[in-house]
Amino acid sequence: MKPATSWLAGALLALSLSACATVDANDGGPGEVEIRTGRIEQITLTQMQTNHDSGVGAVLGGVGGAALGSLVGRGTGRDVAMVAGALGGALSGNYEEKKHYDQPREAQQIIVRMRSGVLVSVTQPVNPSLGQGMAVYIEGSGNGARVVPQS
């Protein structure tokens, strides 16, 4: 009798836990993207900052600085030199990474008039296939929004 009772209790627990996993009607579930349609009113060339801040420069600089600091002195002085080298190397590595890779990119600000009459502005990398008056989709929202031509 005991195995049947434990099996029944386990099945009831699993059933009650699976009932808690619901998807909100407003959320739409994972992987779904809102797509809106409209026409391009205006395209203005601009620049956008990249967010190329991977931290690789800081990590490599810190490791290199600690390695160089380990060559200095002995005992506590060596430990202090390693910490100072790691901090200095991390700062200089981060600076070099930003200087070489974090440059502004050419972009376009696209103003789209939606079917409802609302104007939506999206700034994205240059897409030469877009033109004024063209029917387009706006995929996504917020920083992830993109304007693409309708096929």
Q: Which of 113, 116, 118, 108 is nearest to 134 (CA)?
A: 113
pLDDT digit string, tens, across residues 48-88: 776 666 677 788 888 888 888 888 878 888 888 888 888 88
Domain of residue 115, residue span: 35-49+104-149
Please report whether residue 130 resides in a domain: yes
Asked if residue 129 and residue 63 are part of one domain, the reply reads: no
Please report whether residue 14 resides in a domain: no
Please report whether residue 17 resides in a domain: no
Asked if residue 123 and residue 88 are part of one domain, the reply reads: no
pLDDT digit string, tens, across residues 10-57: 666 665 555 555 544 445 556 665 678 899 999 999 887 766 666 777
Q: 141: domain CATH number?
A: 2.40.50
Q: Which helix (H) or strand (E) holds 65?
A: helix 56-69
Asked if residue 114 and residue 79 are part of one domain, the reply reads: no
From the CB of residue 28, how many other CB atoms can be counted at a distance below 10 Å? 11
Please report whether residue 136 resides in a domain: yes
Asked if residue 139 and residue 75 are part of one domain, the reply reads: no
Please report whether residue 21 resides in a domain: no
Q: Which residue has the tokens 């395209």?
A: 43
Burial category of 127 from C-beta neighbours within 10 Å (exposed 0-12, middle 13-18, buried 19 and up): middle
Q: How many independent structural domains does the chain possess?
A: 2
Torsion angle (degrees, nearest 10) of CA 34, 39, 44, 47: 20
